[in-house]
């Protein structure tokens, strides 16, 4: 298991040199953030990013993410040009040694939360999702939620939502199939593994179609193009926000077939109505048992990339909610500690042998 840490470049308040000091850290997950969605990332920018990361002694082998333009998701006539640009981005990433590209196919937004600084009993703050608050929103009057992409003006957002009104789940699946059949051959050609991130949270929101929510959706995804290059970012926090999703089982099934290329390791505390907040990584603090999840990764012989995903804001740290240094560092060390104990003292495939 290769532990990585997301870094947003030189504008990130978390210093690269501090990330290097986290024990057991293998590499950095990053991207090119100053190029508009749908355009080609310059090779020069990628080489510069790689040199900066490797200059502190870390690897740059995972990109998160190369965003998918909304016109591709909507299946508009402009998609072929945008897909050609996406193909070139895959080639350019491969040219600097990137092995995995994480991306998603969520309409309009990436992730949805109703609060960025929910205060926990210990005084730390965390990202949270209030299902009742979402249900009460009237999207006809516009939407204002924390963490939303500020690049959309209110009228642009309404127009985009209107376009999606004509796109159901099956049409979105068809548009995804068109996209995957165009990019996976390129990924195979250059040795890159594409890793789809699931919907966050894993349910329809505001009438928008959501198609990567559960086990059956993941199975359908990997069958569209039956290739090891067509894989998954298994995000425990995203999928775990629906307690019907058994994360350990998903790890065994899709990791066992070699389709998990990136693991996001995050704990969530989930309520009966679907509300949740992002808990510390420690198993006893949330609804997910991280020790059992890592044991499942061990059982299938996972040697890929993981990261501690989001964290709380603790010890007075300010900055991008969910992406502070301190709690993610604690999470990384905790997860590496679990992994060391599991690999030293738990034989591989123990539960599978017991079941037999």
Distance CA 337, CA 24 (A): 9
Q: Of 204, 262, 203, 257, which Cα lies nearest the Cα of 232?
A: 262
Strands 276-279 and 267-270, sheet pairing? antiparallel
CA–CA distance from 133 to each of 11, 113, 120, 227 (Å)? 32, 10, 19, 41
235 catalytically annotated: yes
Catalytic residue among 69, 102, 197, 334: 197
129 strand-pairing partners: 276
Identified catalytic residue from 103, 309, 327, 334: 309
Please confirm, yes or no, whether 323 is among the known catalytic residues.
Answer: yes
**In this structure, are residues 305 and 232 in contact, taking their beta carbons and an 8 Å threshold?**
no
Q: In the numeric block, which tokens belong to residue 152?
A: 């959309």
309 in catalytic set = yes
Whether residue 310 lies in the annotated active site: yes
- CB 331, CB 20: distance < 8 Å: no
Q: Which of 93, 102, 199, 235 is catalytic?
A: 235
Q: Report the distance separating Cα 41 and Cα 276, nearest Å.
A: 36
- Dist CA 152 CA 139 (whole Å): 14
- Measured at the CA of 234, the angle between CA 223 and CA 100, to 5 degrees, comes to 80
Query: Which of 264, 281, 298, 334 is the catalytic position?
Result: 264
Active-site amino acid positions: 197, 235, 264, 309-310, 323
């Amino acid at each position: 298991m290769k532990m990585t840490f997301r870094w947003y470049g030189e504008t990130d308040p978390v210093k690269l040199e501090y990330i290097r000091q986290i024990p057991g850290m293998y590499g950095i997950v990053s991207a090119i953030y100053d190029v508009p969605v749908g355009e080609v990332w310059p090779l020069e920018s990628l080489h510069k990013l790689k040199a900066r990361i490797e200059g502190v002694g870390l690897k740059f082998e995972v990109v998160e993410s190369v965003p998918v333009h909304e016109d591709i998701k909507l299946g508009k006539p402009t998609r072929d040009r945008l897909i050609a640009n996406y193909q070139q981005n895959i080639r350019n990433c491969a040219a600097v040694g990137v092995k995995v590209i994480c991306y998603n196919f969520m309409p309009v937004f990436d992730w949805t939360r109703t609060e960025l600084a929910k205060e926990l009993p210990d005084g730390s703050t965390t990202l949270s999702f209030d299902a009742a608050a979402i249900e009460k929103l009237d999207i006809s009057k516009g939407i204002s939620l924390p963490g939303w992409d500020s690049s959309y003006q209110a009228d642009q957002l309404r127009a985009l939502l209107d376009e999606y009104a004509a796109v159901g789940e099956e049409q979105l699946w068809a548009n995804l199939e068109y996209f995957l059949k165009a990019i996976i051959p390129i990924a195979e050609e250059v040795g890159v593994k594409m890793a789809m991130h699931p919907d966050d949270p894993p349910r329809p929101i505001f009438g928008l179609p959501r198609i990567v929510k559960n086990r059956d959706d993941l199975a359908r995804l990997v069958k569209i193009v039956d290739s090891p290059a067509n894989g998954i970012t298994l995000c425990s926090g995203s999928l775990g926000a629906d307690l019907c999703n058994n994360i350990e089982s998903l790890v065994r099934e899709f990791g066992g077939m070699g389709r998990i290329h990136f693991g996001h390791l995050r704990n969530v505390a989930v309520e009966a109505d679907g509300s949740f907040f992002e808990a510390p990584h420690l198993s006893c603090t949330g609804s997910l048992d991280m020790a059992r999840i890592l044991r499942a990764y061990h059982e299938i012989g996972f040697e890929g990339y993981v990261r501690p995903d989001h964290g709380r804001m603790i010890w007075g740290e300010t900055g991008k909610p969910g992406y502070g240094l301190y709690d993610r560092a604690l999470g990384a060390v905790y997860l590496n500690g679990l992994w060391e104990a599991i690999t030293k003292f738990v034989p591989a495939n123990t539960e599978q042998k017991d079941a037999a």
